[in-house]
Structure 1
Amino acid sequence: MLRNWQRDCVNSVIDHFNHHKHYFCLATPGAGKTVMAATVGKMLLESGKIDYIVCLSPSRTICESVSSTFKNLLGKPFSGRIGSVGVSLTYQSLLNGDHSVLADLVNSRVFVVLDEIHHCSGSEFVQGNAWGIQLLRQISSLATFTLSLSGTPWRTDGDPITFASYDRPDSGLVYHWEYGLSDAVTDKVCRLPKVMALDALRITKNAHGSHESYTSIAEFLKDSDNSYLDLLSNESLTSEVLSRGVERLAKLRETSPAAGGLVVAASYSHALFIKQMLEGIFSQKVVLVSYKDENSIRQIEEFRQGADHWIVSIAMVSEGVDIPRLQVCCHLSATKTELYFRQLLGRIIRVTKDQTGECFFYTLAEENLISYAQRLEQEVSGSYIKERLTEEKVVFSPCTGTQGKPNDHDISVFFGDDFVNDGNGLSSADEDLVDAPSTLVSSVLSIDAIRERVIQVLMNSQPTL
């Protein structure tokens, strides 16, 4: 049974396709965009308006989830093989040439679903990334209709999203449907998130014979000699974040035994340490997923269906990965963009029948992260000129070993797993290449008097009774 917003959006899409080719749906992570898209596909097939469906998404994990949803809703094979009504591919497959099925669709009427479309940039006027270029070259002429989906429709590199339209002069994204987090919480489609920011009232730094003291994380980070990675490298602070996450999860599991938690780490070695800490100190059952393990997709599925306490990831469990039983997230990643913040929050807000309407997000009291939480009431639509000026991000370049902006060569680096650097935040498959702590140390920083600050979010969006 469709949710109200899904039903209304489906009707809007079908009506729009009577006169237009492209449709852009902006809906908060966790709202059920894939089910909505599959319903559109079913109606188009049944009405004889299309012959085939092609779904494109940024990772194999999402790709398989999309395929499963379409197969179940359509009640027909969705494998790309003979007899199927569609296929689910990654954007990367367009680059690899692993898409022979597309060549057979030249004379067919094709409905193309572009999941997490913000990963693809460029237009006929602006040179984009490699994924966006392939969409323009291969999909634009192939598609009879396109449905673009995104819950975070902006790019940190400032480029326009492929197939998207922008108003002038402010270059605001034009979308045909909007369903924001505040609406979803009110409708009980998504859980009400509670953001907990941990601060330290006493930070002492001893290095090279000098002694510095700070009374907050914000004050510590204002010193140009200090970095956010210094905090992530501190064992006592990491332990405190995990301790509070473990305590919260234990309370949730009293009434929802399958409730789970997600920890997002800064590097592979960081993730290993976190896993060891959760298992050794807190006696938790933990799964670590990484591109280093060829069974990572299976591990994610087993965690989704199981009852283990925690899943630890670097980048593999971010956007589009559907694990509804997740209700707690500990953000210990070095990536601090608003895009990534909202994507991670989307992992824990999906509503299930046997769980509470709340979820909990633990992070450090870094000023940007706090501001992102306070801005959740605002549905931030993409504005590529604005983002170019205000959110240009420096990332670690696997090509040079130095810091620099992503380029087309970066995106072409494919490591045989889910993630590549698409220029839109941290998504590199090579998790060890991230400039992040390789070991956790406590000798340089002494941190105590840690307090928890509850960030008030979505005050006007309480669930309806």
Structure 2
Amino acid sequence: MQRTIRLRPWQKAALDQFVESAGPDFLAVATPGAGKTTFALTAARHQLAGSPGRLIVVAPTAHLKLQWARAASAFSLHLDPSWSAADGSLPRDMHGIVTSYQQVASSAPLLARLSRDAFIIFDELHHAADDRAWGAAIREAFSESSRRLALSGTPFRSDTRAIPFVAYRGDEAVPDYEYSYGDALADRRVVRPVYFPATNGQMEWSAPDGSLHSATFDDPLGAVRAGQRLRTALSLDGEWLPTVLRAAHARLTEVRREQPDAGGLVIATDQEHARGIAQLLHSRFGATARVVTSDDPQASAGIAAFAASSDPWLVAVRMVSEGVDIPRLRVGVYATTTSTELFFRQAVGRFVRWTRGVPRQRAWLFIPDDARLRLHAARVAEQRRHSLRRGDGVVNDAGDGDERELGTDDQMSLFAAISAVATDPTGLGDDEFLDDEDDVGADEFELTLAPLPPLAGVADVAAAVGEPVLTRREEKKQLRDATAKVARELARRAGLTHAQVNAELNRLSGVQRVSEATVAQLERRFAAADRWLAKT
């Protein structure tokens, strides 16, 4: 069956450049929310149609592994997001796998065998520099691949750890195609304009050496004291954070009058901080908040549940800073001590995804009026103002600043916040906006996808591109669960062990290892169990 997909102009231009590129490596840098996944999977379809082979996606987090697999299913590309080295070879009805940078580091030799002549997609490739061993593992695992497509949501640099398969000019990575936030705003109907209400305040704290300090965000401080000031502002015991949460909740309440499912996100400093913020939202404003933290095995399910709901607030630490797709997010609070521009832009990216049919799609990220964060926000705002054809100039410029995580000196356990009082936020962005009631953006291009070589196991019936579908892994799990339920009843009726029942079902269906079985084999296995049960 012939299938088509509609591409935005930048996606079509990037795809054309990818197709024309002669080298094995291609780096595309595109602003969050622009549609990097659609571009990459369209490129994968093109590549596999012409050069049949495996497809391997490397993603930063477990949640994004599942997100990639589901997106790929809509392109009739079947990827296993739960693959591990213990699974052995891939089933014949799978195009490939989605793995993580951490898994690559521990399974590089096996991945090197799987990836020979494969097409590789690196999602947010700058994560390869997060750990010293990851870069070497990536090179070992994927050097023999036929082609590698790297994606990033923001330009990145590697001061000490060069990332494999990336071209550099000095320390700066050189993209083969770049599509900025400003470009996306200018195209209209791609991303939202984000505004940054910045809140000042008077903070008092006791430093680890016992000295007492008092400062506003306007007072010039060194990096260590600036970190202590920010940590004081974000303290659960002061009044700065509740004041900002009140303003953000009021803004979200207003937005929800026009978009009832609009959501808010608070990015917290750590797990205890996240839980405390959720309690503040409930006790002060009667607002319910879902908390997702990395120590919760159901965190990915919690994010997915929030994305599909109309709940008002999500509180998280780093889990939703990058790549997680929750288009209904309209209001955020930046309540973390992490100050790097890369992390800040990743956080901004959670709020920019434009949604068809929703008018006046502004978004707001409430930030401390810290010099570093103010500068990052000003750089984003400058792109926004230029694209919306307003005045020139960067406001609230704050100098270069230190790009490390704030408040990480060795004696932070001796640090104590004494008080924090907020002033009114500035820069709400109520007037600086061009009306967007119409639903007209840049023209899209319709592209016919080349047919893929057939896979073994089942007929390839897929939903239209963009529709939510089960991954093949999820389809198989449903079949295994259904068979297991019948097998338990068989064991009870026949007086056999579960191992004996499963061994017989494998024999009847021609399955050697359930983990390597195709959908067709699992369907035969379930049918065999059903027939056996009917005779028992």
After TM superposition, the score normalised by the length of structure 2 is 0.68
**Separation in 1, partners of 2:272, 2:8:** 42
Asked if 2 retains the 8 angstrom alpha-carbon contact of 1:334 and 1:436, the reply is no
**Separation in 2, partners of 1:315, 1:339:** 13
Aligned to 2:168: 166
The alpha carbon displacement at 1:24 in A equals 0.6
SS at match of 1:451: coil
Aligned to 1:3: 8
Aligned to 1:386: none
**Separation in 1, partners of 2:94, 2:373:** 45
Structure holding more helix per residue: 2
Aligned to 2:184: 184
The alpha carbon displacement at 1:390 in A equals 8.3
The alpha carbon displacement at 1:181 in A equals 0.2
Aligned to 2:97: 87
The aligned amino acid for 1:139 is F
**Separation in 2, partners of 1:436, 1:241:** 25
**Separation in 2, partners of 1:390, 1:173:** 22
The alpha carbon displacement at 1:257 in A equals 0.9
**Separation in 2, partners of 1:69, 1:240:** 39
Choose from 62, 71, 81 the match for 2:73: 71
The alpha carbon displacement at 1:402 in A equals 4.4
**Separation in 1, partners of 2:60, 2:48:** 25
**Separation in 2, partners of 1:437, 1:349:** 39
Asked if 2 retains the 8 angstrom alpha-carbon contact of 1:267 and 1:437, the reply is no
Going from structure 1 to structure 2, the CA distance change for 1:224 and 1:45 (only over 3 Å counts) comes to closer
The alpha carbon displacement at 1:199 in A equals 0.9
The aligned amino acid for 1:81 is P
Q: How many residues align?
A: 401
The aligned amino acid for 2:274 is A
Going from structure 1 to structure 2, the CA distance change for 1:213 and 1:86 (only over 3 Å counts) comes to closer
Bigger shift: residues 24-33 or 225-234: 225-234
The alpha carbon displacement at 1:205 in A equals 5.9
**Separation in 2, partners of 1:172, 1:455:** 33
**Separation in 1, partners of 2:94, 2:355:** 31
1:197-216 to structure 2, matched below 5 A, reads 197-200=198-201, 202-203=202-203, 214=215, 216=216
* Aligned-residue identity in percent: 28
The aligned amino acid for 1:196 is P
The alpha carbon displacement at 1:327 in A equals 1.0
Q: Which runs of 5+ in 2 are unaligned?
A: 1-5, 81-89, 385-399, 442-536
**Separation in 2, partners of 1:364, 1:198:** 5
Aligned to 2:147: 145
After TM superposition, the score normalised by the length of structure 1 is 0.78
Going from structure 1 to structure 2, the CA distance change for 1:186 and 1:223 (only over 3 Å counts) comes to closer
Choose from 248, 258, 262 the match for 2:261: 258
Going from structure 1 to structure 2, the CA distance change for 1:51 and 1:238 (only over 3 Å counts) comes to same
**Separation in 2, partners of 1:162, 1:13:** 19
Indicate the structure (1 or 2) with the bigger Cα radius of gyration. Answer: 2
The aligned amino acid for 2:97 is V
Asked if 2 retains the 8 angstrom alpha-carbon contact of 1:266 and 1:437, the reply is no
Asked if 2 retains the 8 angstrom alpha-carbon contact of 1:25 and 1:177, the reply is yes
The aligned amino acid for 1:173 is A
Asked if 2 retains the 8 angstrom alpha-carbon contact of 1:249 and 1:261, the reply is yes
**Separation in 2, partners of 1:283, 1:94:** 44
Asked if 1 retains the 8 angstrom alpha-carbon contact of 2:252 and 2:262, the reply is yes
Choose from 268, 271, 286 the match for 2:271: 268
SS at match of 1:88: strand
Are 2:361 and 1:353 aligned? no
SS at match of 1:263: strand
**Separation in 1, partners of 2:118, 2:234:** 47
Choose from 390, 393, 417 the match for 2:404: 393
Choose from 244, 262, 284 the match for 2:247: 244
The alpha carbon displacement at 1:50 in A equals 3.5
Aligned to 1:114: 122
**Separation in 2, partners of 1:337, 1:88:** 28
Are 2:284 and 1:292 aligned? no
SS at match of 2:194: strand
Asked if 1 retains the 8 angstrom alpha-carbon contact of 2:288 and 2:312, the reply is yes
The alpha carbon displacement at 1:15 in A equals 1.2
Are 2:37 and 1:27 aligned? no
Choose from 435, 445, 448 the match for 2:419: 445
Aligned to 1:15: 20
The aligned amino acid for 2:244 is V
Asked if 2 retains the 8 angstrom alpha-carbon contact of 1:62 and 1:321, the reply is yes
Aligned to 2:197: 196
The alpha carbon displacement at 1:455 in A equals 7.6
> Cα deviations across residues 308-330 of structure 1 (Å, max 9, x unaligned)?
11111111111111111111110
Going from structure 1 to structure 2, the CA distance change for 1:175 and 1:37 (only over 3 Å counts) comes to same
Asked if 2 retains the 8 angstrom alpha-carbon contact of 1:260 and 1:310, the reply is yes
